[in-house]
Amino acid sequence: MRILLTGAGGQLGRDLQKSLNGHDLRAFDHTALDVADRPAVVRTVQQVRPQWIINAAAFNDVDGAETMTKAAFAINGAGPGHLAQAAAVVGASLVHISTDYVFDGTKGTPYIEGDAPNPLSVYARSKYEGERRVLESGVSACVLRTAWLYGVHGKSFVKAILAAAARGGPLKVVADQVGSPTATADLARAIAELIQTPARGLFHAANAGACSRFDLARAIVQGSVEVLPITTEEAARPARRPANSSLTSVRWQQAGLTPLRSWRSALDAFLDSLPNPAA
């Protein structure tokens, strides 16, 4: 299949380049295609004429978005809309990636696709606008909400904790935010499976289960340094974050897609794959 990938230089984008290896993949990083540039999106999609467009591009600076509102909405809100319109013109289907942060975190149990979003931050509102633009465009599309991504490439909480632990502890980590850490390698494989099926619509796609950021940090450092719990209030970040944004899916299984493994198995596999600094 001919696939146009946007945001190809990001942590998910890089793993998608691997998982979509067997396809005629046309990968565009930020410099090659700006998803907020409508004429460029239309021109590129018409030149490539893909069967699928996969949008892994995003403005991902959750705190920065509080002051860079215009950029966040142009990239996370308008950008997916441009891709949806361009996809419709050439008869392509679209995969767009959204976030657990569309929820306000008050539910107390994992969120399913039917739960009502109530985004708390500029980043979350811009991402919610992007998913709505795709779903309301009527184009053949899959919108995947995922969470707490990490992988070999790019920046993530997991890599930040590894780096901080290497500098020495103790580490202070927020204990009152719960979510579903997800390996980009697993999500990329899931997307490669999804595009071979007729499944369309909104899906939650995250590694199974949930933990707090504090639990996650302890699983990452494996006792090498001390990890101390702090509250969200003590962390004093500019953007509000949901207390519980853990995801589960009703629709993924209904569509007959392979469930993603537990967050702990995925994390352990990721840590095992890293070069051993002591070796």
In the region spanning residues 14 to 53, those forming contacts with ligand NAP, defined by CB under 6 A, are: 30, 33-36
Shortest distance in whole angstroms from residue 168 CB to ligand NAP:
25
List the structure tokens of 163: 């780096």
Beta bridge partners of 24: 2
Shortest distance in whole angstroms from residue 254 CB to ligand NAP:
22
Binding mask 209-238 for ligand NAP (x = CB under 6 A): ------------------------------
Task: Work out which of 3, 4, 5, 12 binds ligand NAP, going by CB under 6 A.
Answer: 12
In the region spanning residues 98 to 117, those forming contacts with ligand NAP, defined by CB under 6 A, are: 99-100
Specify whether 123 is catalytic.
Answer: yes
Question: Quick check: 9 binds ligand NAP (CB under 6 A)?
Answer: yes
Cβ contact 147:206 at 8 Å? yes
Catalytic residue among 101, 123, 128, 150: 123
Closest-CA residue to 53 (of 65, 61, 45): 45
Closest-CA residue to 212 (of 239, 181, 182): 181
| Rounded CA separation 259/250 (Å) | 11
User: Of 100 and 176, which has the nearer Cβ to ligand NAP?
Assistant: 100
User: Of 214 and 226, which has the nearer Cβ to ligand NAP?
Assistant: 214
Binding mask 125-144 for ligand NAP (x = CB under 6 A): --x-----------------
3-class DSSP state for residue 150?
Answer: strand
Extract long-range pairs of 15-24: CB within 8 Å, 24+ residues apart: 15/151, 15/152, 15/153, 15/184, 15/185, 15/187, 15/188, 16/54, 16/56, 16/188, 16/191, 16/192, 18/185, 18/188, 19/185, 19/188, 19/189, 19/191, 19/192, 20/54, 20/188, 20/191, 20/192
User: Of 77 and 139, which has the nearer Cβ to ligand NAP?
Assistant: 77
Region of 11-19, 196-204, 222-230, 257-265 interacting with ligand NAP (CB under 6 A): 11-19
What is the per-residue DSSP string for 33-57?
A: --TT-HHHHHHHHHHH--SEEEE--
User: Of 58 and 219, which has the nearer Cβ to ligand NAP?
Assistant: 58
Task: Work out which of 53, 72, 75, 141 binds ligand NAP, going by CB under 6 A.
Answer: 75
What is the per-residue DSSP string for 67-100?
A: T-HHHHIIIIIIHHHHHHHHHHHHT-EEEEEEEG
Task: Work out which of 27, 41, 54, 56 binds ligand NAP, going by CB under 6 A.
Answer: 56
Shortest distance in whole angstroms from residue 276 CB to ligand NAP:
25
Count of residues interacting with ligand NAP (CB under 6 A) = 27
Residues that bind ligand NAP (CB under 6 A): 6-7, 9-13, 30, 33-36, 56-60, 75, 97, 99-100, 127, 146-149, 154
Active-site annotation, residues? 123
